[in-house]
C-alpha cells in the first residue's frame, strides 16, 4: 500500500510484547490521522511483512485496537478505522482517590489470576463447566438488558471460569475477593453516569463473549490473552481517573 511508505514503522524489540508494540504504533498512526477514519488497515500478511512478526502477534495487536474501539474487522472486508481516538467511556462522574487505588490493586492482581484461570479453563473445562459459563454469560447479558449494573452476574461469570480450572486454591482465593473483584461494586450510585455505564457494559459483554468462545473452543493462549486485554482495558480505564484528578 502506497501510504504505508510514510508511516515510519519502527522495528520490533524482543524486550516487550510484540503485539503491544504493534498496537502502540498503529494506535499512534490512527490518532495522528495518518490512517484516517474509514480507511482500511493493511492485510494481516502486509502487517506481518511490515513489522517482521507472525500472524499471531498481528492478530493480538488488532484485537487490542478493537478493544479500544479504534477499529472493527469484518469477514471478507478487512479491518477499518472507526474513530481517531480511543473510546474511553468513564462509568462514573467521579471516584475518590482511595477507591481508585483499591480498584487498581484488585485489577492488578486479577490480570495474573484471571488470565491464568482462563487458560487453564480452556484446557480443563468439562461439559458441565462449559454449560455453567454459557449460562452465566447469558444471565449477564440479560441483566444488562434490564438496565442493571450486572455486578453480581459479572462476578458469577468470572467465577465459573475459575471453577473450570479445577484448582481449589484458585476458587478459594476468588471467593475471598467475592463481588469486590468487580470494580463497579465499589462505586456509589450517585457517582455513576447512566449513559456511560450502559456503553461500558456493552463493551464488557463483547469482551466476555470473546473470552468465553476461546475457552469453549479450547484455545488456552487466546483465552489468556483475551482475559488479560479485558482486565488491562479496565485497569487503564480506572487509572485514567487518577490522570484526571492530577490534571
For residue 213, give Cα distances in angstroms to 17, 26, 91. Answer: 23, 26, 26
For residue 133, give Cα distances in angstroms to 72, 161, 162. Answer: 26, 7, 10
User: pLDDT at residue 247 above 60?
Assistant: no
- Asked whether 226 and 207 are in contact (CB, 8 A), the reply is yes
User: pLDDT at residue 190 above 60?
Assistant: no
Name which of 36-45, 187-196, 226-235 the model is least confident about. 187-196
Which residues in 7-23 are b (16+ Cβ under 10 Å) and which e? beeeebeeeebbbebbb
Question: Residues 105, 208, 180, 151: is their CA dihedral positive or negative?
Answer: positive
Residue 102's Cβ-count burial label (10 Å; 0-12, 13-18, 19+) is middle
End-to-end CA distance of the chain: 40
Concatenating the DSSP letter of every residue in 7-62 gives S-PPPPPTTS-HHHHHHHHHHHHHHTTSS-TTPBPPPHHHHHHHHT--HHHHHHHH
User: pLDDT at residue 209 above 70?
Assistant: yes
Q: Which residues are registered as beta bridge partners of 92?
A: 192
User: pLDDT at residue 234 above 70?
Assistant: yes
pLDDT band at 193 (very low <50, low <70, confident <90, very high): low
pLDDT band at 195 (very low <50, low <70, confident <90, very high): low
User: pLDDT at residue 241 above 50?
Assistant: yes
Predicted pLDDT of residue 14 = 61
- 100-151 confidence digits (pLDDT tens): 899 999 999 999 999 999 999 999 999 999 999 999 999 999 998 888 889 9
Residue 189's Cβ-count burial label (10 Å; 0-12, 13-18, 19+) is exposed
The CATH number of the domain covering residues in 2-81: 1.10.10.10
- Identify the residue with better confidence: 242 or 82: 82
For residue 245, give Cα distances in angstroms to 68, 190, 234, 242. Answer: 22, 18, 18, 5
CA–CA distance, 180 with 152 (Å, rounded to integer): 10
Predicted pLDDT of residue 6 = 58
User: pLDDT at residue 2 above 60?
Assistant: no
Q: Pinpoint the residues of the chain covered by CATH 1.10.10.10.
A: 2-81
- 48-83 confidence digits (pLDDT tens): 999 999 999 999 889 878 877 788 888 888 999 988
pLDDT band at 191 (very low <50, low <70, confident <90, very high): low
CA–CA distance, 129 with 36 (Å, rounded to integer): 43
Q: Pinpoint the residues of the chain covered by CATH 1.20.120.530.
A: 97-246
Domain 97-246 in CATH 1.10.10.10 = no
CA–CA distance, 62 with 24 (Å, rounded to integer): 10
Helices (H), the chain: 18-31, 44-51, 55-67, 97-124, 127-145, 151-163, 168-177, 194-216, 220-246
Q: What 3-state class would DSSP assign to 111?
A: helix
Amino acid at each position: 500500500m502506497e501510504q504505508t511508505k510514510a508511516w515510519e514503522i519502527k522495528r520490533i524489540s524482543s524486550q516487550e510484547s510484540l503485539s503491544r508494540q504493534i498496537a502502540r504504533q498503529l494506535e499512534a498512526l490512527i490518532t495522528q490521522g495518518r490512517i484516517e477514519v474509514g480507511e482500511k488497515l493493511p492485510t494481516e500478511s502486509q502487517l506481518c511483512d511490515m513489522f517482521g512478526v507472525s500472524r499471531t502477534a498481528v492478530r493480538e495487536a488488532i484485537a487490542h485496537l478493537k478493544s479500544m474501539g479504534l477499529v472493527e474487522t469484518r469477514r471478507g472486508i478487512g479491518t477499518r478505522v472507526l474513530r481517531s481516538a480511543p473510546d474511553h467511556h468513564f462509568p462514573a462522574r467521579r471516584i475518590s482517590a482511595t477507591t481508585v487505588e483499591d480498584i487498581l490493586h484488585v485489577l492488578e492482581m486479577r490480570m495474573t489470576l484471571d488470565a491464568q484461570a482462563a487458560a487453564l479453563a480452556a484446557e480443563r473445562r468439562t461439559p458441565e463447566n462449559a454449560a455453567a459459563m454459557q449460562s452465566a454469560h447469558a444471565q449477564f447479558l440479560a441483566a444488562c438488558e434490564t438496565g442493571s449494573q450486572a455486578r453480581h452476574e459479572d462476578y458469577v461469570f468470572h467465577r465459573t471460569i475459575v471453577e473450570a480450572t479445577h484448582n481449589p486454591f484458585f476458587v478459594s482465593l476468588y471467593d475471598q475477593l467475592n463481588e469486590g473483584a468487580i470494580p463497579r461494586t465499589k462505586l456509589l450510585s450517585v457517582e455513576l453516569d447512566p449513559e456511560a455505564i450502559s456503553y461500558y457494559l456493552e463493551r464488557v459483554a463483547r469482551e466476555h463473549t470473546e473470552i468465553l468462545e476461546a475457552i469453549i473452543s479450547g484455545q488456552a493462549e487466546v483465552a489468556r490473552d483475551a482475559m488479560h486485554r479485558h482486565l488491562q482495558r479496565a485497569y487503564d480505564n480506572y487509572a485514567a481517573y487518577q490522570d484526571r484528578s492530577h490534571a
